Amino acid sequence: MNKYSICCVALLLAAQACNDDFLERSPQTEISEKDFFHTADDLDTYLYSLYNFAGVGIYVEDAATDNAATTGVTELKNMMSGTPTAANVTEGWTWDQLRKVNYYLDHVGTAKLTEPQQKHYEGMGRFFRAKFYMGKVQRYSDVPWYDKTLTQYDADLFKGRDGRALVVDKIFEDLEFARQYVDADGEEDRAGAVNRWVVRAVMAQAALYEGTYRKYHTELALQATADQYLALAAEVAGEIIDDGGFALHNTGHPESDYASLFTSEDLEGNREVILGRFSEANLLNSGWWGYMFGNYEVSPSKDLLQTYLMGDGTPYTSQPGYTTNGFVEEFEDRDPRLAQTYAYPGWELVNSSTYAQGAGIYVQELSRNFTGYHQIKGFVNDTDTEVQNNLDIPLIRLAEIYLIYAEAKAELNALTQGDLDNTINKIRARAGMPALSINPPADAVLQAQYPLVTGAQATVLLEIRRERRVELALEGYRFDDLMRWHAGKRVEIEPEGLYFPGLGKYDLTGDNIEDIILLSVDDEIPADEEKEKNSLGKTLVYHSVGAIGTDGATFFLTEGESGNVATADDLGLFLEPKYYYRPVPQPQVLLNPNLEQIMGW
């Protein structure tokens, strides 16, 4: 099935709607088993109604982590700065997807299929059930397990929460079945559809998550079982690497190959993409708009920028004076992926959108509560709306599978140099970066960021975490990574931006010609006709600066008239272990008192 066909099916199913509150009401369906579930085509049509993969929004999902600041409202920000309770943290307890999946599984056996086809289609349903439940476990830990379609008279309707261990066992029973049988009859892989490799990729993701979560979250008392999931993550990732026929997108242009994955109109056939979300202008538009670029709601952080290595493979944070480097210096001789993720000095803006300065060499726009850094990863720097609407999204990439394999093996203290060469070092080579050795020097900054990492392979594991943060930066992975690593305290860090040593003029484009001028809030910004021009004849951009919260300031600096750009005063506290979990919404507990709260909720 090609991109056009999948778009048509998606449009056909978009109008279908199901009741989120199936636990409170009698289940309903618009599809009768008498008229449906007869053929493989019927089953395919139903399955496409279960597709709920992410889209262009992945490029802003790192917001409210140490990767990116946001002025938007997020659940975690509200929790950390307010008084969260089960009465006001109420999102997420939705079950319509599970009802649809279980209804499918209850009726898939009525179709007239060969035995391999029957197992394939059952495996597909079990894959979507496992995917649904993994999301619930990540949010609530203990949840009721249901493997049938409930009715209003079902005794299980008011059951309590099943323990995490039981639910996760069921999840991996489903995933193992899907792993064995999805596409087992040799069906042609279809671009954009779930196939055997997507199943394995999601299974590897889930196994790594659960293995590391159990290892680092002692409050669960499940550490003894962590290694079995880590071993499974490595095993399944290894199957994809060895047998999937995938390869990193690498045309020999380290300055652009990485970035091209996130601005492509056609990822169908790209050998790195295991699962993509494919768009077709005027049929199924991508939904793209320029909000990831910065100063809408999100902006990348200095903390993430400082994670990228120098071009020679040494830590940026080991360079003398790195904390007081200006914007131009921060991009000198760095991992090429930095300049394919952040707008760098001298970058040319074409798709100016609402940015008043218009197209041309971009001068960093500086405003309150934003870092001053701008994201170009996922930003379509083209004014053609058809190009924007055609944007394809790489949802699962081979690079992530390499990272899963290496991390799982290192967590097991079983990583070899050969493993690194077959995974991490292929990613680095694509970016034009030196290889990682099995015994790298310890990085004190990484050790401070992740103090729970210990063991014989701790130093290389920390470097793998660095590589994961860099390679998957601003693709929506960071929050889940921090949660599974028991590193939630990192979201307390207020994201910061560009460094300015004081008032005066600054070059932000790298041509040694000043572009902006910083004034004290006590100084009056002159009228436009009186503003100074630089040697290119361009009027300097004037900014008034002051400490965070200062009235009249264009943007804030940590030391008032010097320091890093400040985005927030106090983000609040991340309470451990409580905030690694969410409460069952109070209305649901009132309906079903058997749903007891855990972890201090």
**Which of 18-22, 146-150, 240-244, 330-334 is predicted with the least confidence, judged by mean pLDDT?**
18-22
Looking at the domain assignment, is residue 549 inside a domain? no
pLDDT at 26: 37
Share of residues in the chain with pLDDT > 90 (%): 90
pLDDT at 186: 55
Strand partners, 565: 557
Instruction: Find the domain containing 161 and state its range.
Output: 3-60+92-187
Strand partners, 273: 397
| 70: helix, strand or coil | strand
Cα 367 from chain centre: 25
Question: Which alpha helices (H) appear in 298-411, and where do they start and end?
Answer: 302-305, 327-330, 385-389, 398-411
Question: Would the CA dihedral through 308, 314, 318, 322 be positive or negative?
Answer: negative
Looking at the domain assignment, is residue 124 inside a domain? yes
pLDDT at 192: 87
Is 60 exceeded by the pLDDT of residue 4?
no
pLDDT at 31: 66
Q: For residue range 288-306, what is the model confidence (pLDDT) as tens digits? A: 999 899 788 999 999 999 9
pLDDT at 106: 97
What count of other Cβ atoms lies within 10 Å of the Cβ of residue 98?
A: 22
More confident residue, 510 or 185: 510
Give the strand pairing for 563-566 and 555-557. Answer: antiparallel
Taking residues 366-370, what's their average pLDDT?
95
Is 80 exceeded by the pLDDT of residue 108?
yes
pLDDT at 187: 53
Cα 105 from chain centre: 30
- Would you place residue 6 in the very low, low, confident or very high pLDDT band (cuts 50, 70, 90)? very low
**Which of 35-49, 175-189, 464-478 is predicted with the least confidence, judged by mean pLDDT?**
175-189
Is 80 exceeded by the pLDDT of residue 12?
no
Looking at the domain assignment, is residue 161 inside a domain? yes
Looking at the domain assignment, is residue 348 inside a domain? no
Q: For residue range 538-556, what is the model confidence (pLDDT) as tens digits? A: 999 999 999 999 999 999 9
Looking at the domain assignment, is residue 24 inside a domain? yes
Block residue for tokens 């005027």: 282
Q: For residue range 185-232, what is the model confidence (pLDDT) as tens digits? A: 655 556 689 999 999 999 999 999 999 999 999 999 999 999 999 999
* Nearest in space to 177 (alpha carbons), one of 230, 107, 140, 124: 124
Taking residues 143-152, what's their average pLDDT?
95
Looking at the domain assignment, is residue 493 inside a domain? no
Taking residues 309-334, what's their average pLDDT?
98
| 330: helix, strand or coil | helix
- d(CA 261, CA 376) in angstroms, rounded, equals 12
User: Average pLDDT of the chain?
Assistant: 93
Q: Is the peptide bond before 577 cis (omega within 30 degrees of 0)?
A: yes
Is 50 exceeded by the pLDDT of residue 496?
yes
pLDDT at 295: 82
More confident residue, 186 or 357: 357
What count of other Cβ atoms lies within 10 Å of the Cβ of residue 452?
A: 11
- d(CA 231, CA 163) in angstroms, rounded, equals 22
Whole-model pTM: value is 0.94
Looking at the domain assignment, is residue 97 inside a domain? yes
pLDDT at 14: 41
Spatial neighbors of 518 by CB under 8 A, at least 6 apart, are: 500, 502, 503, 504, 505, 506, 543, 544, 545, 561
Give the domain CATH number at 15.
1.25.40.890
Strand runs (DSSP E) across 269-416, as ranges? 273-277, 298-300, 348-349, 360-361, 393-397
Question: Would the CA dihedral through 405, 406, 409, 410 be positive or negative?
Answer: negative
Residue 522 burial class via C-beta count within 10 angstroms: exposed 0-12, middle 13-18, buried 19 and up: exposed
Single-letter amino acid, residue 125: G
Taking residues 476-480, what's their average pLDDT?
98
Using the 8-state DSSP alphabet, how is residue 495 labeled?
A: P
Looking at the structure of the chain, the number of domains it has is 1
Looking at the domain assignment, is residue 172 inside a domain? yes
pLDDT at 35: 73
